[in-house]
């Protein structure tokens, strides 16, 4: 079972550091969770993740349900053993992936009937099924099944989404089982402050182990996203971790930490790495640029990751332009280390009461 401790919080600030204890190790918060959709963080091994100081990853319920199947993973000893990952795992509920299927799904009071994006076969996932799948995967933290409203959406549609999310959350608690997994509720409500409050208060009354802010980063601007997060945070308890789902630009993370958010996930560091965009202490670097053809410097002279310690920009550009598979691994290692260091720097700033002054460089390095 999850235990959460707040270590440092200044009286006039929401930003805080803490520690989450799970059956597969502890990790400090605020924390960034790399996305391992299909039981693998793309292009890197579990050993690479460990060397990048990753303590928890996210895996995807919907994708693992479809392939190889949650019962297969159960028979093989659970997801940790299946993928040889010794750290903590959080599994999402599958609600967001079902939401993204749009024309391939039908929502009812009981759950969602949908067609597989792989072969068109028909499936049903409701709150009980979402719990059964995540029990089979045996993640440390599991998520309640929710209905993520599209953006933009009218008040009436989102109001019904909040109603379904609350209904399904109650059923998830009733079917959570006794495996010791922590269960988080997901606050919905779109961009409507009144509906967000209704959703948050309903979930808090059910006493989840943690709370997530869902339905964000779906097309809204940053100002709206942060306004919603700030308003919701007021209704969530201080003794439970708060998770902002799918939000992962360095700038958004910094601002959300100031609002009291503890956990983040996003495909950004890994997807950008595979597209040749690398994060550095001086801004973003596009390794495809011809200016790096004979550049013997590391990606970032301030970074001590495996990639920066051993390889030059020139070599990394060559690998990328030649479409060598090693390019994806080395780039991903660096971006994950950048995010780990970012979170470490944020935690240190909070401990030194310097979060109000904390800034990152979001420049794009000159062409």
- Residues recognised as catalytic: 92, 265
Residue 31 C-beta-side C-alpha neighbours within 13 Å = 26
- Per residue, what are the HEC states of the chain? CCEEEEEEECCCCCCEEEEEEECCEEEEECEEEEEECCCCCCCCCHHHHHHCCCCEEEECHHHHHHCCCHHHHHHCCCHHHHHCCCCEEEECCCHHHHHHCHHHEEECCCCEEEECCCCCCEEEECHHHHHHHHHHHCCCEEECCCCCCCCCCCHHHHHHHHHHHHHHHHHHHHCCCCCCCEEEEEECCCCCHHHHHHHHHHHHHCCCCEEEECCCCCCCCHHHHHHHHHHHHCCCCCCCCEEECCCCCHHHHHHHHHCCCCEEEECHHHHHHHCCEEEECCEEEECCCHHHCCCCCCCCCCCCCHHHHHCCHHHHHHHHHCCCHHHHHHHHHHHHHHHHHHHHHHHHHHHCCCHHHCCCCCCECCC
Contact criterion met (CB below 8 Å) for 112 and 106:
yes
Non-local CB neighbours of 190 within 8 Å, separated by 6+ positions: 149, 151, 153, 158, 161, 196, 215
Contact criterion met (CB below 8 Å) for 89 and 20:
no
Give just the sign of the alpha carbon dihedral 186, 227, 155, 98: negative
């Amino acid at each position: 079972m999850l235990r959460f401790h707040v270590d440092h919080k200044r009286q006039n600030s929401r930003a805080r550091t803490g520690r989450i204890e799970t059956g597969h190790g502890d990790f400090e918060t605020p924390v960034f969770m790399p996305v391992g959709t299909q039981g693998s963080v793309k292009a890197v091994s579990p050993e690479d993740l460990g060397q990048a100081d990753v303590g928890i990853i996210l895996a995807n319920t919907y994708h693992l349900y479809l392939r190889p199947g949650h019962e297969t993973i159960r028979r093989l000893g659970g997801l940790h053993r299946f993928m040889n990952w010794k750290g903590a795992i959080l599994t999402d509920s599958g609600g967001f992936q079902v939401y993204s299927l749009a024309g391939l799904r039908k929502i009812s009071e009981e759950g969602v009937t949908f067609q597989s994006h792989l072969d068109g076969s028909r499936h049903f996932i409701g709150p009980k099924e979402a719990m059964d799948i995540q029990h089979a995967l045996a993640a440390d933290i599991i998520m309640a099944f929710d209905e993520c409203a599209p953006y933009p959406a009218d008040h009436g549609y989102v109001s019904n989404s909040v109603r379904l999310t609350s209904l399904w959350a109650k059923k998830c608690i009733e079917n959570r089982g006794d495996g010791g997994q922590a269960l988080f509720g997901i606050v919905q409500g779109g961009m409507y402050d009144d509906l967000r409050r209704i959703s948050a208060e309903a979930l808090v009354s059910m006493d989840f182990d943690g709370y997530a802010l869902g339905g964000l980063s779906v097309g809204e601007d940053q100002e709206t996203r942060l306004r919603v997060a700030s308003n919701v945070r007021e209704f969530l308890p201080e003794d439970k971790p708060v998770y902002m789902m799918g939000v992962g630009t360095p700038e958004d993370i910094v601002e959300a930490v100031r609002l009291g958010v503890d956990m983040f996930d996003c495909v950004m560091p890994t997807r950008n790495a595979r597209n040749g965009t690398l994060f550095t202490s001086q801004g973003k670097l596009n390794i495809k640029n011809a200016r790096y053809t004979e550049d013997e410097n590391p990606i970032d002279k301030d970074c001590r990751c495996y990639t920066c310690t051993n390889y030059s920009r020139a070599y990394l550009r060559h690998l990328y332009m030649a479409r060598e598979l090693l390019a994806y691994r080395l780039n991903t290692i660096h971006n994950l280390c950048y995010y780990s260091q970012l979170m470490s720097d944020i935690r240190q700033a909070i401990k030194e009461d310097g979060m109000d002054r904390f800034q990152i460089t979001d420049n794009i390095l000159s062409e």
